[in-house]
Amino acid sequence: MTAIDDRMTGIFENLEVPEGFKAELIRGEIVMTAGPELAHNLIIRAIQHQTPYDRWNALTTQDVAFVGAASEPQPDLVVFERGAVEESGRLLPASVVTLVVEVVSKTSVFRDYRTKRELYAEGAIPVYLIIDPIKGVCVLLTEPARASASGLPDYVAERTTKFGEPVPLDLLGVVLDTTEFQPCS
């Protein structure tokens, strides 16, 4: 990291975020967004309820640390194996994360489909699930590669399904039921 990255990290760690907002550090930039819509929260809750509690932690509002990336995103949902880390501290190392989920909003389309896709691939997070209520689809990304044909980090495998169709989350041993997911009106 550079001195600027270190300063931004320091500012970010001491940032007072107004109630109802969320702040993330993404590639050295502080990104602040308003709280999510009800449909967003219901989608996340449906995924949490389908994640086997005996083996997995499925958390919201959890910051993830990426080595040398000046990034501390807060995915909409983070899933990692129970007992993978000590249960203290603010940051969860990307190396222990199995699945990240982002629910797309009108203001997060580019970040979710491009910036975070590259970041999560670079951090070798095995599964990235983009839930897009605008299009009514789920985009399942697996097999992260630090460099793709374009030279940027990306996922090798991509599967898009419509809301209502099952999404296999093989690493979790779950087939995600998306029949409750509602597109934005």
Segments of 82-166 assigned E as strands: 91-93, 97-103, 127-132, 137-145, 154-162
Length of the chain: 185
Instruction: Give the mean pLDDT of the chain.
Output: 88
Q: No. of H helices and E strands in the chain?
A: 4, 12
User: Closest Cα partner for 102 from 82, 126, 139, 76?
Assistant: 76
- Answer yes or no: is 9 within a domain: no
**Rounded-to-integer distance, Cα 29 and Cα 15, Å:** 13
Contacts of 45 (CB under 8 A, 6+ apart): none
| pLDDT of res. 13 | 75
**Rounded-to-integer distance, Cα 123 and Cα 141, Å:** 14
- Answer yes or no: is 2 within a domain: no
- Answer yes or no: is 11 within a domain: no
- Answer yes or no: is 96 within a domain: yes
pTM: 0.86
pLDDT tens digits, 102-150 = 999 998 999 999 999 999 999 999 999 999 999 999 999 999 998 767 7
- Answer yes or no: is 185 within a domain: no
CATH number at residue 108: 3.90.1570.10
- Domain range spanning residue 86? 37-176
pLDDT, average across residues 29-56: 89
pLDDT, average across residues 81-86: 89
- Domains held by the chain: number: 1
- Answer yes or no: is 86 within a domain: yes
pLDDT tens digits, 11-21 = 677 778 777 77
- Answer yes or no: is 26 within a domain: no
User: Closest Cα partner for 99 from 77, 121, 127?
Assistant: 127
For the chain, the distance separating the N- and C-terminal CA atoms, rounded to the nearest angstrom, is: 42
- Strand duo 137-145 + 154-162: pairing: antiparallel
- Answer yes or no: is 61 within a domain: yes
